[in-house]
Structure 1
Amino acid sequence: MGEVSLYVESLGEGPDLVLLHGWAMHSGMWGEAPEFLAQHFRVHLIDLPGHGFSRFPSLYETGGKTDVGECMVERVVEVLPPGCVICGWSLGGQLAIELALREPARVKKIVLTSTTPSFVKRKDWQWGMEELTLRAFAENLKRDFSTTMKRFLTLQVNGRGDAGKVLPEMRRLLFERSVPEPEALEAGLQIVLANDLRRKLRSIVQPALLIHGENDVIAYPEAAEWMKQQFQDAELVMLPNCSHVPFLSYPDKFVANIVRFTDEFK
């Protein structure tokens, strides 16, 4: 805990539900969904290291470890309530998978929102982005964070019928908090490029709910369909006319599915 603790905002009463945001974002990006979820859960909004109100730990504070993915998971473990459900969006979904594997007694269920086991296209994985595209995006972030993020947000709502409504909301939410630390952006890129969780999915014992948009161009719908088949116990909710941010596009459906999925957990 101490100096390297993450910023956590908690609201509501009931079973613990942890929300983990995506790369280069912060916990404010969930919009109004946490307020609705707080009617059913004790919701914990976590800013990942170097994002929002959480600062990025130094190498000294990480015990000299250089595996940024592992370090990020360890920081979340420090503030993880026992017996919780974890809902992760995009990169946050990959962290939820790692946490479920590492802490099976503390993580009861996982909800993966717009998540893929590999963001990068590989020889045996066609549902990913080109590595060079991701690296170019990261370089542009360093040069001009504001313009690059606006383009990234536009990409996230591609395929969504009311993008004209959702996109301004995303831009407003994103810039409500400070720009992520450069070290955090680089760490996130390393995780996005390196993570290939395909072989780990069969080892997850917890029930999983996958909430995905059928028009997602960042985490492909085919990746979600594939993931569902790998888990021991999984359900996939594919939302029509929806892109990478179902909790903003369809907050009512997003909340209702989580409440239904966790009903017996209560």
Structure 2
Amino acid sequence: MSNSLITKKYISNNHSNREQKTPLVLIHGWGLNSAVWEPTIQKLHQHIDIITVDLPGFGLNINKPLADYSLINVVNEIQSAINTPAIYLGWSLGGLVATQLAYSFPEKVVACVTVASSPCFLNKSDEEPIWPGILPNVLKMFYQQLAQNTQKTLEGFLKIQAMGSPHVRQDIKTIRDLVMQHSLPTEQTLADSLQLLETVDLREQLSSLKMPFLRLYGKLDSLVPKSAIEPIDALLPHSQKHIFPKASHAPFISHPEEFNEVLLEWLGQL
């Protein structure tokens, strides 16, 4: 059996589109899996070829964990599995993966999109000005909860992701129903991948990127606060951004029509 990560491909019937020649690769966030993209795929694959990939140890790749769960090792696995130039879209932790891919393999990344993501998720209170992000005690809480009850921890994370959304309960149910199609990742995989959110800092790498770059945010996001958007603007001034005013951490779930419209308009400009 091949050790390569499993991917899924969705081929568009619209062969007249310019972007049809370049697939869009969707990368999920922490604790979840590629099934979270199903509603998005139903709309987008009418316009563009789509590839989904589960991070090592998640979803379809639950039996393909990494002994050393570093960001560069994750990126190496994904680029080897895709093995073609593509547009990469990463949500939350997936945004870190997409950014590292763009930095390490620029010849493979035609364009990059991050959704509710930051080059540095952790709050840096020792910097001046302070870098906005997740407070260390919040991540510590997740580590402690993981050791006690994996499923309860993921349920709590879903609530934080939807917090602030005008239809929070429905958003949580939608995400839960989608991702529970697959088995839960192991406690070890969850802890190893959570450490990426705690330790990775790609601010310097982000500033060096030259390819087209779109950043999408939810104004009500508590994990990537709106106060982080302006500092990221300064790191990547050539990038474009869109802020969904009533969305939280998962705008493609809470505001799918607006999300798809913004994304397709940008893709059409490439």
TM-score by length of 2: 0.90
**Corresponding residue number in structure 2 for 1:12:** 11
State the Cα distance separating 1:213 from its structure 2 match: 0.3
C-alpha distance in 2 between matches for 1:210 and 1:185:
25
C-alpha distance in 2 between matches for 1:58 and 1:252:
36
Of 167, 176, 188, 1:171 maps to: 176
| Unpaired stretches in structure 1, ≥5 consecutive residues | 60-65
C-alpha distance in 1 between matches for 2:184 and 2:69:
23
**Corresponding residue number in structure 2 for 1:40:** 47
Provide Cα deviations, 1:143-185, integer angstroms capped at 9, x if missing partner: 2122221111111111111113211111211222101123321
Of 241, 244, 248, 2:253 maps to: 248
C-alpha distance in 1 between matches for 2:69 and 2:81:
20
Contact conserved, 1:11 with 1:44, CA < 8 A, in 2?
yes
**Corresponding residue number in structure 1 for 2:17:** none
Of 184-193 and 237-246, deviating more is: 184-193
Identity of aligned residues (%): 27
C-alpha distance in 2 between matches for 1:57 and 1:151:
23
C-alpha distance in 2 between matches for 1:164 and 1:154:
8
C-alpha distance in 1 between matches for 2:114 and 2:146:
26
Contact conserved, 2:122 with 2:133, CA < 8 A, in 1?
yes
C-alpha distance in 1 between matches for 2:219 and 2:41:
23
1:53 aligns with 2:60: yes
**Corresponding residue number in structure 1 for 2:222:** 217
| Unpaired stretches in structure 2, ≥5 consecutive residues | 13-19
1:23 aligns with 2:25: no
What secondary structure does 1:32 align onto? Answer: helix
Superposed CA RMSD in Å reads 1.6
What secondary structure does 1:154 align onto? Answer: helix
State the Cα distance separating 1:81 from its structure 2 match: 4.3
**Corresponding residue number in structure 1 for 2:155:** 150
TM-aligned CA distance change 1:25 to 1:91, over 3 Å: same
Return structure 1 stretches of 4+ with deviation > 4 angstroms. Answer: none
State the Cα distance separating 1:67 from its structure 2 match: 6.0
Question: How many residue pairs align between the two structures?
Answer: 258
TM-score by length of 1: 0.91
